[in-house]
Amino acid sequence: MLVTAKDLRFNISMLFKVLSKGEDVTITYRGKPKAKLISYDEGNEEKDSGIFGMWDDKTLEVDEFVRDLRRGRSFDL
């Protein structure tokens, strides 16, 4: 289904009904597609995300890594 941003603002309940039927909704702004709403299926969740476990091979803890990033650089020679 193709709707405008104005439809999104004023007819959100209608869009939820469309999504509950499993149909995807494309939102346009000034005639150009800007976003896509897809229906959420609780039984079809992706369990294995690529971001989980990304620090498994690192020896540095996340907190230490962030502190090092925030410390900044020193350009003294």
How high is the pLDDT of residue 46? Answer: 57
pLDDT digits (tens, 9 = 90+) for 47-68: 555 666 777 777 878 888 888 8
* Cβ-proximal residues to 1 (8 Å cutoff; 6+ apart), any chain: 18, 23, 24, 25, 26
CATH code: domain of residue 20: 3.40.1620
Residue 21 lies inside a defined structural domain of this protein: yes
Question: Of all residues in the chain, what percent are helix, strand and coil, respectively (each to 5)?
Answer: 35, 20, 45
pLDDT at position 49 is: 58
Q: Total structural domains in the chain?
A: 1
Residue 44 banded pLDDT, cuts 50, 70, 90: low
The whole domain housing 21 covers 2-40
Burial 39-72 (b: 16+ CB within 10 A, else e): eeeeeeeeeeeeeeeeeeeeeeeeeeeeeeeeee
